[in-house]
Amino acid sequence: MPLELSRWRPRASLVAFIIVATVTALGTAEALPDLYVTQNGNQTVAVLDTGNNFNEVATVNTQQSPTAIAVAPIGSPIYIANSASGTVTVMNVNNVVTGTIPVGADPNSIVFSPAGSAAYVASAGANDVSEINVAAGTVLQTIAVGNQPDGMAMTPDGSLLFVSNRGDDTVSVVSAPLAASLLTIPVGKEPGAVVISPRGFTVYVANTGSNSVSVINRHERKVITTIPVGTDPTGLALSPNGSILYVSNTGSGTLTLIDTATDSVEATLDVGGDPAGLAISPSGAHLYAVEPGQNSVLVISTATRSITRTLGPFAGPGSVGAFVGPGDLIAIGGVYNSIENTPSQNTLGCSDVLGRERDFHLLVPPIHGSVTIVPSSGLFTYVPDGGFSGEDAFSFICETVAGGPSPVSAPATVSVFVSYQNPNVSSSSALGPLTLAGLALCLAVLGIRKRKIAPAP
């Protein structure tokens, strides 16, 4: 049944459009299906191959009203929230449904933890967030949040969830694994989509009812500025380096581009229709926008800021988005400890099932110190600013020297917790090992199942 436009209202659940990069074996070169579009009109997910002219290669049945989709950091499993069924459909990289998980009423937002061991589902009809054990496929626990939770994002270190509550104009800050709802932050009217900067220090919230974006300082836990945008802002997407925030304005048929350094509007693009869900490719070269009223998905060049292609038609497309963690080239972040004023070293992680040589590049520098990276090895040296004690972070990407499928990873974040030490007391200060989350991701990558491959040309 096609989407009823007269009753359709933008929600944050319409912003989660997923691109899953290729997972291949040594000696292969063909990109595999990597674009998933939920279709409310026929209760399916369309699977497209971005490396082959966006050909639709599979249609996977879900339950009623698939409204959001998320992919684990290693490319599998894939979770689809079915809002009318109160369930989550579980799909693997072979486009096979492997299970169904009951959650609260009207689930409409899903995020995975950085290691992919847990998933979090916001249910608007139950006013709660559920934590799913991915390995077991069961709900571990549920915690109450505000009224009609609609959008959700997790900090790169996996410690906090920011949940927008459309019904009471607030954002809940929730500790993860689910333990407590720490506080609520007042924002604009009818908040929906939520995204977090690459360092994890700034949170952006689209306020559909007040035509604005709230900017939240993570540490101060308050709105530090509000940016006017177009009518009915629905989707949000950040460039990989976090410098540009893209906002889809459903009511005015435009995209607002915000310079995050100044929190000011840099440009407004007229794309027509009713753009809703937004996502950006891992390289940042392409922006994708769902047009529910047009049953299509727009492909937009971020370089020229113009529409290069229109995909579809789809049966009431609901969600589109960029998956942070391409399948065969995965930058692995972590959480480390450091000692104030002492240079500290460790090695960045990057997994590639093809075994290609790769370089590491700094994407977003730290705020309270400096970092240098040896490109060929990933060895980094972090030096905190004098007198600084607290949390710092930087993000990086890895890039294959030889090219091939998925040559550039999505960004990964390294969080550094700097503690004070009496300068009169000598001690060594090597950074600690990756957290359990990082180790879990490494092990999962090593054990990932091989997907269908094609011989190299």
Q: In this predicted model, what pLDDT tens digit does every residue of 78-87 receive, in sequence order?
A: 999 999 999 9
CA–CA separation, 165 vs 146, rounded Å?
5
pLDDT of residue 326: 41
pLDDT of residue 282: 75
The predicted-structure confidence for 156-185, as pLDDT tens digits, reads as follows: 989 999 999 999 999 999 999 998 888 999
Q: What CATH class is the domain 12-311?
A: mainly beta
Domain with CATH 2.130.10.10 in the chain: 12-311
| Cβ atoms of 442 and 332 closer than 8 Å | yes
Which strands form 233-238's sheet, in the order they lie side by side? Answer: 233-238, 244-249, 254-259, 264-270
Kindly state the tokens that stand for 42.
Answer: 């026929």
Q: Is the pLDDT of residue 243 over 80?
A: yes
**pTM of the predicted protein model:** 0.86
pLDDT of residue 98: 97
119 or 328, which is more confident? 119
CATH 2.30.110.10 matches 330-446: no
Kindly state the tokens that stand for 414.
Answer: 């390294």
Domain with CATH 2.60.40.60 in the chain: 330-446
pLDDT of residue 319: 59
Q: What percent of the chain has pLDDT over 90?
A: 58
Which strands form 296-301's sheet, in the order they lie side by side? Answer: 278-280, 286-291, 296-301, 306-311
> What is the mean pLDDT of the segment spanning 313-320?
77
Furthest-apart CA pair in the chain: how many Å? 72
In sequence order, what DSSP letters do the residues of 186-222 get, joined into one string?
Answer: E-SSSEEEEEE-TTS-EEEEEETTTTEEEEEETTTTE
Find tokens 């966006």 and name the residue: 54
> What is the mean pLDDT of the segment spanning 20-48?
60
**Residue 400: enclosing H or E segment and its boundaries?**
strand 390-400
Q: Is the pLDDT of residue 19 over 70?
A: no
